[in-house]
Amino acid sequence: MELLNVVDVEATCWDGQPPPGQVNEIIEIGLTTVSLATGERVAKHRVLVRPRRSTVSPFCTGLTGLTQAEVDTGVDFAQACRLLAVEHEAGARPWASWGDYDRKQFARQCRATGVPYPFGRRHWNAKPVFTQAHGLRKRPGMAQALELADLPLEGRHHSGADDAWNIAALVLHLAGRDAWPAEPTHAG
């Protein structure tokens, strides 16, 4: 495996339950391409996605820094998925995320909108890999994992692009310890 896409999404969110008629929708896709062969992060990308069935709440803006005006400049979800497939070879290239939220959110949103799922079948959930490699009992959040690995948190936490960049550093940390598994944690 030469290249790996590391993906982190931000979605509309609220302090509590969504308002009536609104659902969580992806509003930012962060993607960092990693070369496991060279141990480098080779590219950082950000795709803003315009939500159709929800709006960016003040809580969401506080968490992610994203505003409704900003995501209104983004592409629709179908265009974002095509972009992942065409420009980032998402269907062919293996990918990883921190936790399973990102994979499940894509699957949910693709089902709800009828948009083809952009990713292939080879997905690594980096969180349990890190937990096992470090002999931990509880799975840490990304920021805590960076501290445990003695790596800096670069950029803004809860920015999809910055979080993907930081998760990629954790993936490379694991690969450097020979702890990155050859087989995906989820295939299907």
Q: Please state, in angstroms and as integers, the Cα–Cα distance from residue 166 to each residue in 113, 125, 155, 156, 157, following that order.
A: 30, 14, 9, 10, 9
Rounded CA-CA distance 23/121 in Å is 26
What's residue 184's pLDDT?
83
What's residue 1's pLDDT?
60
What's residue 43's pLDDT?
96
Judged by DSSP in three states, 110 sits in: helix
Q: Tell me 22's DSSP state.
A: -
Over the chain (188 residues), the average pLDDT of each successive run of 10 is 93 96 97 96 98 97 98 98 97 96 97 97 96 97 98 98 98 96 74
Number of domains forming the structure of the chain: 1
| Contact by Cβ (8 Å): 164, 42 | no
Domain CATH code at residue 60? 3.30.420.10
Query: Which residue range is the domain that position 123 belongs to?
Result: 3-187
What's residue 154's pLDDT?
98
Neighbours of 93 (CB within 10 A): 17
Neighbours of 185 (CB within 10 A): 16
Rounded CA-CA distance 77/113 in Å is 9
Q: Alpha carbon 158 to chain centroid distance? A: 10
Q: Is the pTM higher than 0.85? A: yes
Write out the H or E segment, with its range, that includes residue 124.
strand 122-125
What's residue 187's pLDDT?
55
